Structure 1
């Protein structure tokens, strides 16, 4: 069995061409899945070869009982690209995925042509998992039906949840992570245990050393109204390493690539060089 078979994944764009298409890998954030990148990839796939996948514990990928540190996620990616024979690629990660790609680029810089970190800082936070445990535990899963789940997230969750993000946007995101199980009930698509463990392991130590040691050209993208990456930490990351360039995108919160998809694609183009015209 190929290692990639453990992961729900999708390839987009041409495999061959002249010039040979650049390769991209997109890594989603906490509680996300590969399809979160579809709008961004649609702006690249005429000329660029793209891979998006659900990380371990997320979406429809395998959900092991342990192994949810950034190093574990980075090693998954290493095994995948070695299996594919991808020697060099652009790597994009959002939120938790941004921390995971930072660790990957630190461990395996020879693979990364350009690195893009979207709206995540390197600071530690011992209690960060408590916020996500609180939100996840608000949902009385499993639900008896999809209608029951829809009603909860459209009404009760919005009324009860104390969130850092826009509560209505978060409720829709959570509902998108509901799926029908074989017994007919509706429950989380991801592993709730994996989510909590990912936050614990991802935030138990700071990653400033990895930021300072980065040896690949890096673009740091911040949403102007982000509650996750402060302007202070954004500026400190830029100051810590001349390899890092930054852009703050107006009208965006933490989910920059969703809030301002076109501006996000333009930032990628500006960073890596414009995309070639597709062959007629």
Structure 2
């Protein structure tokens, strides 16, 4: 990679699709990574140019000690798109990534041609981090081996964890975030400290003003069975700004793009047009 990609080098990232296609950037949720979007991107990459990357503190990207507010994540994206020369993007964010793209669209509206936010609201909740702290602290990391980690998540975790989403789904998700470290032990792929800080910083203040201020066409997607984005908050989001249209996807929980990938792709295509 050339020298002028110095900032992008901090991030594990993938480009897909033809270079002359419209530019899309996909931003994953808390504890996620860029590959979470693979199925959705596979439905677009014949004509669209897509970028997905692991955000700071996540996946295989750099894990700084500080800088986990939505604005920090938004500034990472700004530096990345400036470096690769993308001045107009279609921006998609799930969950915490949805807060981060909302921050980006508020701070740098001139970059965003269209905005898609998946299953997150703008309300504050100073105690939100406690749920994730509880779940992350349940796991007795590091594990001696991958087998030990698998056994823990598939057996003990499933029996004891109190989760909002299906406990089996959460167990699988956590297990997928286990990696072997240089010393042979198996531990979190992400920065545990960074995850907790992200939730704290993302929920310190309400972000209704950002929603009211959006100037670009925006699609807000909710999973019909979501425990994360309550129906009344969702309705209020749609009522706050005429630039926002909503799609509620039947049979999906918080992970809409994973629960109903085809319906999610169709919603994107119908919103963006010209495929």
* TM-score where L is the length of structure 2: 0.98
Residue matched to 1:68: 68
Residue matched to 1:144: 144
| CA positional deviation for 1:137 | 0.4
Whether 1:205 and 2:205 are equivalent positions in the alignment is yes
After the TM superposition, list the runs of 4 or more consecutive aligned residues in structure 1 that deviate by more than 3 angstroms.
Answer: none
For the residue of structure 1 that corresponds to 2:24, the secondary structure is strand
| CA positional deviation for 1:127 | 0.3
CA distance in 1, matches of 2:126, 2:251: 30
Residue matched to 1:278: none
Residue matched to 2:249: 249
Whether 1:109 and 2:109 are equivalent positions in the alignment is yes
Residue matched to 1:82: 82
Matches within 5 A, 1:127-206: 127-206=127-206
Residue matched to 1:28: 28
* TM-score where L is the length of structure 1: 0.96
Residue matched to 1:8: 12
Unmatched 5+ stretches in structure 1? 276-280
CA distance in 2, matches of 1:258, 1:165: 13
CA distance in 1, matches of 2:169, 2:101: 25
Residue matched to 1:232: 232
Residue matched to 1:42: 42
CA distance in 1, matches of 2:146, 2:112: 42
CA distance in 1, matches of 2:41, 2:273: 16
CA distance in 2, matches of 1:44, 1:170: 27
Matches within 5 A, 1:207-226: 207-226=207-226
| CA positional deviation for 1:71 | 0.3
Deviations 1:80-99 (A, max 9, x none): 00001101010000000000
CA distance in 2, matches of 1:181, 1:103: 33
CA distance in 1, matches of 2:97, 2:149: 27
Matches within 5 A, 1:44-59: 44-59=44-59
Deviations 1:104-155 (A, max 9, x none): 0000000001000000000000100000000000000000000000000000
For the residue of structure 2 that corresponds to 1:165, the secondary structure is coil
Instruction: Give the alignment's Cα RMSD to 1 decimal.
Output: 0.5
For the residue of structure 2 that corresponds to 1:246, the secondary structure is strand
CA distance in 2, matches of 1:196, 1:52: 23
| CA positional deviation for 1:274 | 3.8
Residue matched to 2:118: 118
CA distance in 2, matches of 1:227, 1:257: 15
Whether 1:262 and 2:262 are equivalent positions in the alignment is yes
Corresponding pairs, count: 271
Deviations 1:171-192 (A, max 9, x none): 0000000000000000000000
For the residue of structure 2 that corresponds to 1:134, the secondary structure is helix
